[in-house]
Structure 1
Amino acid sequence: MASFTVNWPAVVVALSVAYVTRYIWLEAQHSRKARRLGCKPAFVRPSRLPFGIDIMLRYVRATEAQDQQNDDLALYDELGRRPTWYQNIMGNWHHYTVDPKNVQAILATQFNDFELGPLRSGAFGPLIGKGIFTSDGKEWSHSRGLLRPQFTRSQVADLALEESHVQSLFDCLAVGADSWTGTVDLAPLFFHLTLDSATEFLFGQSVHSQKAAMMRTENQTTPRELEWASFGQSFDNANLAVCYRSRLMDLYYLYSPSSFRRDCQAVHRFAEYYVKRALETDEPMSSCGEKRKTYVFLDELVKVTRDPQELRGQLLNILLAGRDTTAGLLGWTFYLLARNPEVYSTLREAIVDQFGAYPSTAAISFESLKSCTYLQNVMSEVLRLHPIVPENGRRAVRDTTLPRGGGPDGTLPIYVRKGSEVGYNVHIMHRRTDIWGPNANEFKPERWSHLKTGWEYLPFNGGPRICLGQQFALTEAGYVIARIVQRFDRVENMDPSPVTKHRFTATTSPVNTLVKLHEAVSS
């Protein structure tokens, strides 16, 4: 019987030739398609190291220095303020844009050409599981249909729940004999407040993180009712890990430290406890054992689905969005108000005129908050300068195009291959001087008294995936702002640093909001 010997070198050469031939053929096919569609290549961001390693390292350093959004603006200037470019990160070539026309195409006019893709679900999945922010197609449509009824006006307009948490916030703001508080960092206080509010709205029971933080400060023992208060820290730690995972693009799985897995498990235990309780309880009960009268998100979801995994995923998806976005908006609002006392004075005059002096809440409602024009202008301007989700992205599900960015002057379409990522940066877009004028980096709420915006202003995303909780977040934030401004007639900036630092996870907020507040005489 003749022996058979494989000529392995010849096999390797043949496979290599076949691979190269196929690569050349595909490149030629894409080039012909791009020419037929009138597309030209976008500007290529320079890279000093192979596979864009230096670009990756720059992202990591900026994130660690809490300087990411500042560095984004610096990069935009370095690239000649080109609205769209092509870049390589860890071997992943993708387009990046700050052009409103391109963002509109990605999110709306060419919605069916783009999805979140496996990067989003892979990076975020271990923390929040399957839900509206990690799914596409029918799964996403199902999630949105499930959640839309939970953000009706009647739920959004329920401000009684918020007042108790505002009073817990005020407990943390001790006022001295001179009517001034000491120097206080509002940033973490707002995260505690929104965590307490969000968990009560979603789960039917607050984690009381504000009370727990005060007790830790005073070295008191935490009672049993506050045993879940550490949940917030686990949630924050896991969020930061998700940020690093996202930076690695398709290699996100390379960053999965044991601390990330532990934090995810802690978050899941919390959610699963309340899901189990809701599934086993026929009559919704308060933590005091009485029949609950207030609206609870989880109780309503249980009427639609009894799948524990789905319930946990949807709850954590909404918690990520609802808690962090509102805390970020509040933090940036007082960060900017402390540096612009004339705006604070104007805002206080508008709020006291419409809602009365502290402690009155009788005139504060969903409708009156929306009709307080200057309050709405302040929040719009805060969200312009500091959009809570500063950057985002989609993956092309078919060969497609974007309207602009190609050619020497960037006015021609660009060709986007199936499977490639397209990132968009709202933070840069909101500060483009060619769109917003030479004072684009200044805090000017008055600009909104006559401003009509389109896709150049995108604080809550746009198109079919526009944020369901937009009114919920604005109502909650507006209420908290109104109550603080009612009680305190002056705010003083106590942060000596001239550089704005960003706490950047899936959302952005100020690293600290160091202020002193002066209590109004009438309060």
Structure 2
Amino acid sequence: MLWQIGVVVLIILLIKYLLRHEHSSLTKLPGPPRLPIFGNTLSIAWLTQEQMFERMVELQYLYGHRVVVKVFNKYVLHLFNPRDIEVVLTHTKNITKNKPYEFMKPWLGTGLLISSGSKWHKRRKILTPAFHFDVLKSFARVFVESSRLMVNELIQQLQNEKDVLNVLPFISDFTLSTICETAMGTNLNSVEIDETKLEYKQSILDIGTLIMMRLTRFWLHPDIIFNNLPIGKRFKKCLEDNNSFTDRVIEERRKKRRDTEVEVNGGRRRMMLLDLLLDAESKGEIDLSGIKEEVNTFMFEGHDTTAMALTFGLMLLADHEEVQDRIHEECKSIFGDSMRTANLSDLAEMKYLEATIKEILRLYPSVPIIGRVIEEDFMLDDIQVTKGNEVVLHIYDLHRREDLFPEPEQFRPERFLSGEKMNFTYVPFSAGPRNCIGQRFAMQEMKYMLSEMIRHFKLFPTVKNFKPTMKADLVLRTDDPVRIKFALR
């Protein structure tokens, strides 16, 4: 009899726990219809990644610019307007990442992307010098060489009568090599890792898919269940493939530091990101697991997001010959008939190309959604957002609001030529205390690569006005291959 009473009490306590946020002021906001106890959890449980992306995009059209979704006892506030997004991104206490990032911890640990509080502040302080303007200047040689190799490989493919290219696998090879040689100080051509490089790139794609499957299927959330199912075993294998590559990168740099002095640039030590981490290790400020956290984080973020941005960018340029021509004319005004590679002062003159890159990132921001777990209550007008709930900022949808960007689906680089500050209407690199530490690095790399592409080639779409089907993932991604036809100028 006592055990039966205990079960009844436990059920009552469980129901009270699941319903404890029912009186939150967020309940007054619109959102999809909710079931008792489960809220909206079951409505997303069997969605594909493509369906999940479509569901997220339609929220604002169905319910407005503040939408509440309930996941069991927790409220998730989805925001689409710049004023609300500014409040969240500039909050100095609410910097903790939300649920999807929890499932990334077995891969990225609690490195700069995921950590919060004192650990985040400490890591940010260690790593910020790696992205100082003077350090970025010293990377110019690597950007130049990578861009030149990319062009030469494309020319060779054209000579072999291969003029149509699946862009992403091709581009990601060069963005991966670039982040390794700049931030990690490791030349991928100097070690025999072609096979592990391919496994590494595939592991990132698979990790994203598995994390999204786990996120939408609530029964996979407990580690003890996930780790013992086939999906968890696949995830573990992906982590092994991923780590074997990053371990090689770390060991290669260690060996180089032992065998020779660190590169000198103008008589001063060039403080690459991995060197900063290894120096911090020697001072007892970080251990090997901490180094691996940051290397995994920056290897992923430093190559995959840029590769996706360049892929979508080439797709848009192929469809807009007039934009290509204008970039080519701008380059011609800078270089004349010379085919020399660009330097930093050349990049500064590429105003139209910079506007083009900004427009690419407006339409296809590499990180389309940003999430926070609320650590400190705050107000949005008369709405109190309380500790323990989550806020999701829809960057992809913010950039496509017609009241902010007239004819938002149109590709118009001219939007960014006025120099007018857009504040929180345009945030492809986030903003506030957790803004992207590598945004200048990414812009510089994209300028080098796109200017070299347009100077040497004309781009043509294989399908006019191609619109790939987007899917929910760790970065903005599509399953549709983006194929482009290249011709020498």
What is the TM-score with the length of structure 2 in the denominator?
Answer: 0.85
RMSD: 3.2
Cα distance change, pair 313–431 in 1 and its aligned pair in 2 (3 A):
same
- 1:125-181 superposed Cα distances (whole Å, 9 cap, x missing partner): 111222101101001001101110000112222221123322332243246889986
| Contact 2:67 2:79 survives alignment (8 Å) | yes
Residue 79 of structure 2 corresponds to which residue in structure 1?
97
State the AA in 1 paired with 2:77: H
State the AA in 1 paired with 2:311: G
Q: Distance in 2 between matches of 1:459 and 1:495?
A: 27
Q: Distance in 2 between matches of 1:445 and 1:491?
A: 17
Tell me how far 1:40 sits from its aligned partner. Answer: 7.4
Tell me how far 1:400 sits from its aligned partner. Answer: 3.1
| Contact 1:284 1:299 survives alignment (8 Å) | no
Q: Indicate yes or no: 2:117 matched with 1:149.
A: no
Map 1:446-465 → 2, pairs under 5 A:
446-450=414-418, 451-465=420-434
Cα distance change, pair 153–347 in 1 and its aligned pair in 2 (3 A):
same
Cα distance change, pair 229–12 in 1 and its aligned pair in 2 (3 A):
closer
Cα distance change, pair 72–345 in 1 and its aligned pair in 2 (3 A):
farther
Residue 273 of structure 2 corresponds to which residue in structure 1?
297
Cα distance change, pair 349–70 in 1 and its aligned pair in 2 (3 A):
farther
Residue 371 of structure 1 corresponds to which residue in structure 2?
349
Residue 346 of structure 1 corresponds to which residue in structure 2?
326
Tell me how far 1:272 sits from its aligned partner. Answer: 2.5
User: What secondary structure is seen at the aligned counterpart in 2 of 1:135?
Assistant: coil
Map 1:12-411 → 2, pairs under 5 A:
12-13=7-8, 34=25, 41-46=28-33, 51-57=39-45, 60-61=47-48, 63=49, 65=50, 69=53, 71-79=55-63, 82-89=64-71, 92-108=74-90, 110-116=91-97, 119-157=99-137, 158-174=139-155, 182-208=163-189, 224=192, 226-230=194-198, 231-248=200-217, 251=221, 253=223, 255=226, 256-279=231-254, 282-283=257-258, 285=260, 292=263, 295=270, 296-306=272-282, 307-357=287-337, 359-361=339-341, 364-403=342-381
Cα distance change, pair 140–10 in 1 and its aligned pair in 2 (3 A):
same
Map 1:372-521 → 2, pairs under 5 A:
372-403=350-381, 413-437=382-406, 439-450=407-418, 451-488=420-457, 490-495=458-463, 498-502=466-470, 505-509=473-477, 511-520=480-489
Q: Distance in 2 between matches of 1:94 and 1:419?
A: 10
Q: Distance in 1 between matches of 2:159 and 2:152?
A: 17
Could you list the runs of 5+ residues in structure 1 that have no partner in the other structure?
1-5, 210-222, 404-412
Q: Distance in 2 between matches of 1:18 and 1:494?
A: 60
Cα distance change, pair 22–98 in 1 and its aligned pair in 2 (3 A):
closer
- 1:194-244 superposed Cα distances (whole Å, 9 cap, x missing partner): 0111122233223359xxxxxxxxxxxxx9453532322223322332333
User: What secondary structure is seen at the aligned counterpart in 1 of 2:114?
Assistant: coil
Q: Distance in 2 between matches of 1:237 and 1:351?
A: 39
Cα distance change, pair 350–121 in 1 and its aligned pair in 2 (3 A):
same
User: What secondary structure is seen at the aligned counterpart in 1 of 2:105?
Assistant: helix
User: What secondary structure is seen at the aligned counterpart in 2 of 1:303?
Assistant: helix
Q: Distance in 2 between matches of 1:268 and 1:27?
A: 40
- Bigger drift between 227-236 and 240-249 goes to 240-249
Cα distance change, pair 184–147 in 1 and its aligned pair in 2 (3 A):
same
Residue 408 of structure 1 corresponds to which residue in structure 2?
none
Cα distance change, pair 163–356 in 1 and its aligned pair in 2 (3 A):
same
| Contact 1:358 1:483 survives alignment (8 Å) | no
Tell me how far 1:370 sits from its aligned partner. Answer: 3.2
Tell me how far 1:277 sits from its aligned partner. Answer: 4.8
- Bigger drift between 392-401 and 475-484 goes to 392-401
Q: Distance in 2 between matches of 1:515 and 1:68?
A: 27
Could you list the runs of 5+ residues in structure 2 that have no partner in the other structure?
none
Tell me how far 1:425 sits from its aligned partner. Answer: 0.8
| Contact 2:39 2:71 survives alignment (8 Å) | yes
| Contact 2:21 2:73 survives alignment (8 Å) | no
Q: Distance in 1 between matches of 2:148 and 2:257?
A: 32
State the AA in 2 paired with 1:73: V
Q: Distance in 2 between matches of 1:416 and 1:89?
A: 16
User: What secondary structure is seen at the aligned counterpart in 2 of 1:353?
Assistant: helix
| Contact 2:21 2:74 survives alignment (8 Å) | no
Tell me how far 1:310 sits from its aligned partner. Answer: 1.0
| Contact 2:163 2:485 survives alignment (8 Å) | yes
State the AA in 2 paired with 1:269: S
- Bigger drift between 365-374 and 462-471 goes to 365-374
Tell me how far 1:44 sits from its aligned partner. Answer: 2.2
| Contact 1:83 1:98 survives alignment (8 Å) | yes
State the AA in 1 paired with 2:61: D
User: What secondary structure is seen at the aligned counterpart in 2 of 1:360?
Assistant: coil
Tell me how far 1:353 sits from its aligned partner. Answer: 1.3
- Bigger drift between 296-305 and 342-351 goes to 296-305
Tell me how far 1:55 sits from its aligned partner. Answer: 3.2
Cα distance change, pair 13–252 in 1 and its aligned pair in 2 (3 A):
closer
Q: Distance in 1 between matches of 2:376 and 2:291?
A: 32
Tell me how far 1:316 sits from its aligned partner. Answer: 1.1
Q: Distance in 2 between matches of 1:245 and 1:176?
A: 40
- Bigger drift between 124-133 and 249-258 goes to 249-258
Q: Distance in 2 between matches of 1:505 and 1:20?
A: 32
Structure possessing the higher radius of gyration over alpha carbons: 1
